[in-house]
Structure 1
């Protein structure tokens, strides 16, 4: 039952997400000029009105839209990716990791190693510890060694493109996982990445379904985020707003024409919150009272990000803590201010579906979180490599970015995803779509 649901949700997610090309942490992109024709829904002086989806795709400030994909993709077969590969039994994978000091990265590599053992593949793993120069050295070493394929868990993807090109010229294909979307013309097999926008969107849908009351006063909401120049932080926040607005409007009997119309309003809403600090008395079902940042994703950052925000807004109804890892700090801050999560305030997270977060949901402390399952970034990549080298799978026309499935977890479904022996929510099978399969799944009816 869950597998069928996952396949359905995966398709919905793909339709819901829109590519975020060349997003960079702190890339300094400016917001679009609100006076331009495109931003007002007009198509390049021709007087034709752009759809909400087209307006979103035209946005230059893309940090709030990380994970949003075109509904139809261009063919990538003409890009040289050192494919097809030679069919062989003795396959060596050069894997350069960004980091290994967190549960997510550890679980990702544990799942990759387990899959490699199952398929009798060899992984040569190197850890860059978030050091770009160290990772570039790993790439050079793998090219010199002549490994069969490289997996790049990128520290900074855009800065690694030259080395990816050198690997391809040496006949070595490269698969990427994170941390941000790849440009369509990058010579990679694909980039396995989580869709941050959809994480927030799914939680927003659920929150509105449970909390919104037609005709009631707006709820007060704040955001406790990692860092403001992060695509993850901004897109998770925008996604939550979009999901909440879409579901609330539907419940009020005044639905948006499409989910993209809700997303467009959420985008503009988030820009106001981000740039002005808040957005209240707007006629929306939520007053967005502010945000705080912790400059990291650990528990201390959660407390830092929520402290001043909670002090300034003691009547807050909803607090979105960006990641499960920040949650313990936010809960500690709530307790220090005499509040209990689940009773005095609803707390939601937008990632990652950790075991601890699921236990908080079971205890009634956490209202909801979203999945970000590391086995998709580890085991699924090794399975793809096995198919390429052992089963003749043609990987020459995969999307530049293959977004992993995302689901909201809450009291109604937490037992489906919880396993006391698993550090993250349970995952079902997930197959990476080719561009042909993607376009067919998203073809207009």
Structure 2
């Protein structure tokens, strides 16, 4: 049994690769131990991915072909980030250059004017380039931010509002028309969330659903319409919002015959850890998937220059989610401009890549490297294994890959170097985690 370690640390994002080491027989060490238990398995990892928004596509179109190839390769090469899937908004979201709907005509009952003109401008070219690189169809998660304005109580795509009851049926048909447009063009729609952030009244595209409204829409309108259109194979995900209310939302929606219609719960990171909320969902609904569908750093809350601290925040959230049942992950925008946009309401955010249009520079942000420690080493089909750690200053998650290698990700959130002893199957090896660092250790027989 040997070990190879990859360490990222410091404000310069130094990557240090340590030569393979040998495990020694367990000498009875009690302190500073990280235990690994491969015989205790939990959830299976489906994969990692990111969002193809209008904003990402519009910035992508401004870059040189060489830069475009670099970005696509970084994300989708098995030698790099090894992304497996993408999330795409239904119609416009805040990260669009403008608000739009594929069909916003109230008198168009049969969607005769339905058009993918806006989707064709920025999203599909980015998707096509990624699929051409991967030489396969990428599984897509679709998420609506708002129905067309006429369907809503406030007659506006923005500022919340709710779906009017008389339009439940038409909105279900609209979503099916949207999914069929993708599938008819040869794309692979894997899953649909019912509504992005259904508790949030936002100054951009948004729509509010109560739990009972989400439940009834799924059971009485969306699922029957999907069955009519041979779309029943597409997974449905509820909530698609923050973790602090995820458990009660799951309980309220997955009632009255709806549980069997729902594949899982999608969640965001914006309201804090709440990792136990994921465990509660898994305990009550063990067959339901837990997918993080959106995560990013808003420049209104987090300093743009605090890259290492911010990357550590996201890595902490990643490990906590993984250790409490998460089986899939979608980062938010895969690419933005130097301001963190474009965004039609000025909700600027960070992304793993920022493109500086004036200087033509493609900037790789620290968070990309931190995420690499997970996405590159935790393979699709990997199974999380049990681990215990001697201190809360180290976040640890461990996974056994299909090739039987074990990937252990260790995040040192403290400002001090911390020693640790990896212990597995009666053997151990000793290392030190540098202050404010992230490490991936790969163990092979």
Structure 2 length-normalised TM: 0.30
Which fold has the larger relative contact order, with Cα–Cα distance below 8 Å and residues 6 or more apart in sequence? 2
Structure number with higher helix proportion: 1
